[in-house]
Amino acid sequence: MVLALYQTGALRGASTTKVAASGAVSVPDVRFDDIGGQAAAKKELMEAIEFITRRDQIARMGIRPLKGILLTGPPGTGKTLLAKAAAHHTDSVFLAASGSSFVEMYAGVGAQRVRDLFRRARETARKERKNSAIIFIDEVEVLGARRGSHTSHMEYDQTLNELLTQMDGIAVDEEVQVLVMAATNRVDMMDPALLRPGRFDRTVSVDLPDKEARLAILQLHTRQKPLADDVDLEAIARQTFGFSGAHLESLANEAAILALREGLGQVHQRHFVEAVDKVMLGEKLDRKPTPEEKRRVAVHEAGHALVGEWVEAGSVATVTITPRGQALGYVRTHPADDRYLHTRTALEGRIRVALAGFLAEELVFGEASTGAANDFDQAVRLARHIVHAGLSQLGIVDPETLNRDLEGAVVQQIIADQREMVAWFLAERRPVLEQVAEILVDAEVADGDQIRRLLADAPPLPPVQGPAVPVEA
């Protein structure tokens, strides 16, 4: 589940009969053990390539070898590395190309390059005295898009037709066994003829890593980095939900760069924490808001942080008003566990957090600002998700046929209910809101522990006010 650290070769050059040799690697020096996380994908892939390492037994059983394996998943999840590890595991020569390498405006060029690639795979295997070769095609959706989807000319379709023909021609008893592996994050764009059994026989899902996998990836990428005693990689793994292996590799690299800038010989925890922000949002900006804007942003982010702690205690990691990317400030959270399913209560809690900055501004300044526009978009998306998931008073609905006026009314009611509760909470916790905002104005950053201490010292909340009466279906 790590970033593909090795440059994949590509088919280059204008010639229709020659492909650059940079696409061929005898046997990649990448093992499955070198790939952090992705236990399920590695296990499934190792089982799928057994036919290469056990050719004699496969032939005696009359089993047709697999002709293609499709790796699907988000960018940066390690699909290229898995393909290289499969080549190492089976002692196969490895040829790599990208889907765009086959497509030209001139008729017949792409089809010729496909033929050349399969020919070179067999020739390279014989030259290296190997009995198997793996052809890896990255971004295969460019080459394998549905036929007829390109209206300008037929070159795309001819190239795809040649790939289909070559995969059909991979015989069981050939001297060199060829396996086609391909990677895509847009499997919905691919032609059904390419996905049928006999071409891409297996589809292996390479998903974003969970917390345990993120920890394994971080450990892998920090093996050769001098870490200080205060480094807690498990805490960093908790804070990086949604990060791919590529993100985590970049995070470890950025942390080491930050330590180098300070002239230190070890990487400390604060470097990893700042690297998380940098990977998520970008480099710190020189943008200097006015004192009035700075206080407004501080109040806005303090509102998000307090309501975030109210919704889920212990979830706030850091609050800052240091501009990064397009953000003048932000709150970073680290929930206790990765979550893939959400109840209505959980979604309503996220709506409350989204509305908190806007309502904090209204409470302190008497009016809000345009800084809450993205928060509103998020709140509306979450409310629509409640409706479309069948969790609203409308029950199970078909989003395609749902009356837009009725949907809009229910969405507005969900948001109004949460707005009422957030306004009540912030009014009760206004002294704490002001304290957190002052800390942010002075230091530009506050950690979750500071906020939790301030909340713990505050008087108990009165009973929660109930939401407004919901819209009737």
> What domains are defined for the chain?
21-205 (3.40.50.300), 211-281 (1.10.8.60), 291-457 (1.20.58.760)
Radius of gyration of the chain (CA): 27
- Determine which one of 274, 301, 309, 361 is catalytic: 301
Q: Which pLDDT score is estimated for 345?
A: 92
**pLDDT of 155:** 60
Burial class (CB in 10 A: 0-12, 13-18, 19+), 414: buried
pLDDT computed for residue 174 by the predictor: 67
Instruction: Give the residue carrying structure tokens 């003048």.
Output: 328
Ranges of the chain with pLDDT below 70:
1-25, 103-108, 147-156, 169-174, 285-287, 325, 336-338, 463-473
Strand partners, 318: 332, 447
Contact between 209 and 38 under an 8 Å Cβ cutoff? The reply is: yes
Strand 316-320 to strand 330-333: parallel, antiparallel, or no bridges (unpaired)?
Answer: antiparallel
Q: Fill in the amino acid letter for 105.
A: M
345 class by beta-carbon count within 10 Å (0-12 exposed, 13-18 middle, 19+ buried): exposed
Distance, CA of 22 to CA of 470 (rounded, Å): 64
Structural contact between residues 252 and 218, judged by C-beta atoms closer than 8 angstroms: yes
Which amino acid, one-letter code, is at 155? E
The reported pLDDT for the residue numbered 369 is 86
pLDDT at position 389 = 92
| 3-class secondary-structure state, position 288 | coil
Q: How far apart are CA 416 and CA 380, in angstroms?
A: 11
**In this structure, are strands 24-25 and 445-447 parallel, antiparallel, or unpaired?**
unpaired
Q: Which residues pair with 25 in a beta bridge?
A: 94
**What per-residue confidence (pLDDT) applies to 108?**
58
Q: pTM value? A: 0.71
Give 82's DSSP letter: H
Residue pair 189/141 in contact (Cβ under 8 Å)? The answer is: yes
Q: Give me the pLDDT at residue 9, please.
A: 33
- From its phi and psi, is residue 355 left (phi > 0), alpha (psi between -120 and 50) or beta? alpha
Q: What is the pLDDT of residue 458?
A: 85
For this structure, is 104 an active site residue?
no
Angle, in degrees to the nearest 10, between helices 79-89 and 39-48: 40
The sign of the torsion formed by the CA atoms of 285, 286, 287, 293 equals: positive
User: What token pair was written down for 311?
Assistant: 């919704």
Query: pLDDT value at position 15?
Result: 37
Q: Is the dihedral of CA 256, 259, 265, 266 positive or negative?
A: negative
Farthest CA pair distance, the chain: 81
Q: Which two tokens stand for residue 306?
A: 């307090």
Specify which residues 94 forms β-bridges with: 25, 134
Q: Within a 10 A sphere around the Cβ of 172, how many other Cβ atoms?
A: 14
**Quick one: pLDDT at residue 198?**
79
